[in-house]
């Protein structure tokens, strides 16, 4: 039996940003090379989001835990990564786009209120060493489940849908769920169970968002320290520079 998803508090970003980061220098690795029941579909790239990349990169420790979570799924169900590490420009685009949409819907709200509503679904863009956006660390992943035909299971809302129904425990609050709603509850519980069993924590406003190793994970897991800070995928230029620097006297 899969237990219900617990109702978690919203993140306290002031407390989260105060958590110490001691980056363990784990590299970012591509999810697309994963075997078996771990799949990759870079959703933002497929949607044509500016500066999005055609790969899902995660820290090595996250990758190994994703493999573990995928193996816990029943036969015929696979784990699909939709987004993970993202460039700062993508984070800024997502934040600005949602902020502007909310401002258009509620033009009388104050900038503080607009920021609060936006941050329910998109973190502030930041590459600051002490306050990086979760996805810029390589420790955040957006995931869902797919069946044997590669079709996404019904999770009740779309990935990145900015509505209260996207809260992980939203359907748990229904007193008399319909058979369809019971199916949605089962799918969310299954995803939550395998991801938390592999060591991830969930952002309660997004059924698809899970963390390991970053400040958000540290706060929800009551850890005193985060092991992932700002990360950057390796590229040819950075590799050459490292090689040249190593040759200096």
Catalytic annotation, residues:
206
Q: How far is CA 54 from the centre of its chain?
A: 17
Whole-angstrom Cα Rg for the chain: 18
The answer to whether the annotation marks 83 as part of a ligand binding site is no
Among candidate residues 134, 101, 128, 133, the one with its CA nearest the CA of residue 117:
101
Helix-, strand-, coil-residue percentages of the chain, each rounded to 5: 40, 15, 50
Distance (Å, whole) CA 201 – CA 27: 21
Phi-psi region of 33 (alpha: psi -120 to 50; beta: other; left: phi over 0): alpha
Task: Give, in degrees to the nearest 5, the angle at Cα 241 between 239 and 246.
Answer: 100
The answer to whether the annotation marks 142 as part of a ligand binding site is yes
Q: Strand 225-226 to strand 140-146: parallel, antiparallel, or no bridges (unpaired)? A: unpaired
The answer to whether the annotation marks 180 as part of a ligand binding site is no
Q: What are phi and psi of 82, to 5 degrees?
A: -100, -30
Among candidate residues 159, 140, 145, 154, the one with its CA nearest the CA of residue 210:
140
Say which residues have a Cβ less than 8 Å from residue 89's Cβ, sequence separation at least 6: 50, 51
Task: Give, in degrees to the nearest 5, the angle at Cα 199 between 70 and 39.
Answer: 25
| Binding site members | 135, 142, 209
| Binding site members for Zn(2+) | 135, 142, 209
């Amino acid at each position: 039996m899969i237990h219900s998803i617990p109702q978690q508090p919203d993140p306290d970003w002031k407390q989260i940003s105060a958590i110490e980061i001691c980056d363990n220098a784990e590299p970012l690795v591509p999810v697309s090379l994963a075997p078996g029941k771990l799949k990759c579909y870079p959703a933002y790239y497929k949607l044509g989001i500016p500066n999005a990349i055609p790969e899902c990169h995660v820290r090595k420790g996250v990758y190994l835990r994703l493999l573990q979570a995928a193996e816990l799924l029943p036969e015929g169900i696979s784990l699909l990564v939709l987004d993970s590490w993202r460039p700062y420009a993508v984070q800024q685009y997502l934040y600005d786009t949602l902020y502007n949409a909310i401002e258009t819907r509620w033009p009388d709200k104050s900038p503080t209120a607009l920021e609060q509503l936006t941050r329910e679904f998109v973190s502030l863009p930041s590459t600051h060493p002490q306050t990086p956006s979760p996805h810029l660390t390589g420790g955040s992943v957006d995931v869902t489940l797919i069946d044997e035909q590669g079709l996404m299971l019904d999770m009740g809302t779309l990935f990145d849908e900015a509505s209260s129904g996207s809260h992980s425990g939203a359907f748990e609050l229904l007193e008399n769920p319909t058979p369809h709603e019971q199916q949605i509850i089962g799918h969310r519980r299954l995803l939550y169970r395998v991801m938390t069993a592999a060591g991830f924590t969930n952002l309660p406003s997004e059924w698809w968002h899970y963390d390991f190793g970053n400040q958000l994970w540290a706060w929800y897991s009551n850890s005193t320290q985060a092991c992932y800070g700002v990360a950057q995928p390796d590229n040819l230029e950075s590799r050459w520079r490292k090689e040249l620097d190593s040759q200096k006297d």
